[in-house]
Amino acid sequence: MSNKIRRSMPLFPMGTVMKLTELSARQIRYYEEHQLIRPERTEGNRRLFSLYDIDRLLEVKDLLDEGINMAGVKKILLQEENKEVHSNVKEAAGKDKKDFTNEEVRKLLRKELINAGRFHRDDLPPGERYRYFH
C-alpha cells in the first residue's frame, strides 16, 4: 500500500549513485571490490545499484569519515549483514516463501510502488513543484 521502492531492485546507474552519495566512481568500485556492495549488472556489464547499495555506500562513507579503515568497515558492515541474514532466514523459513523472477519483481514493483503513488503528489519540496508544472 506504500510507494516505497523495493530496496533490492537494481535501478540506478553509476552517475546517479555518484551524485546521490557524493562518492567518486573509483571509490564506489573500490568498495565493491571489497564486497561491501554487490550491484547487479546489465546485459552489457554496466552496474545497476539498488537503494540497498546506496544505503551501504553511505554507511561506508560515514564510517570512513569517522576515521575507521576498510578493515574496520568490513567487520562492522559484514557482521551487521550476518545478523540480517539470520533474521531473514528465520523469517523466510516460517513464511513458505516463493521465488520471484526478476520480471515478476518488476511487475510487483510497478503495481505496489509506482501505481500506489499515482496522483499522490504530496511529497514534493515546495521549490521543486514548478519544475514539473511550470
Residues that bind DNA (CB under 7 A): 13-16, 18, 24-27, 29-31, 42-47, 64, 69-71
Q: How far is the CB of 111 from a copy of itself (least distance, A)?
A: 10
Amino acid sitting at position 115: N
Q: Which of 38, 41, 75, 90 binds a copy of itself (CB under 8 A)?
A: 38
Whole-number Å distance between alpha carbons of 83 and 92? 14
The entry of a copy of itself, DNA, none that residue 70 binds, CB within 5 to 8 Å by partner kind: DNA
The entry of DNA, a copy of itself, none that residue 76 binds, CB within 5 to 8 Å by partner kind: none
Candidates 24-32, 44-52, 68-76; binding stretch for a copy of itself (CB under 8 A): 44-52
Cell 573500490 belongs to residue? 30
The C-alpha angle with vertex 81 and arms to 53 and 19, in degrees rounded to 5, equals 15
User: Which of residues 44 and 127 has its CB atom nearest to DNA in the complex?
Assistant: 44
What are the φ/ψ torsions at residue 12 (nearest 5 degrees)?
Answer: -105, 135
DSSP-derived secondary structure for 78-112:
HHHHHHHHHHHHHHHHTTT--PPPHHHHHHHIIII
Q: Is 91 exposed, middle or buried (0-12, 13-18, 19+ CB in 10 A)?
A: exposed
List of residues contacting a copy of itself (CB under 8 A) = 2-8, 11-13, 15-16, 19-21, 38, 42, 48, 51-52, 54-55, 58-59, 80-81, 84-85, 88, 92, 95, 97-100, 105-106, 108-110, 114-115, 117-119, 121, 123-129, 131-133
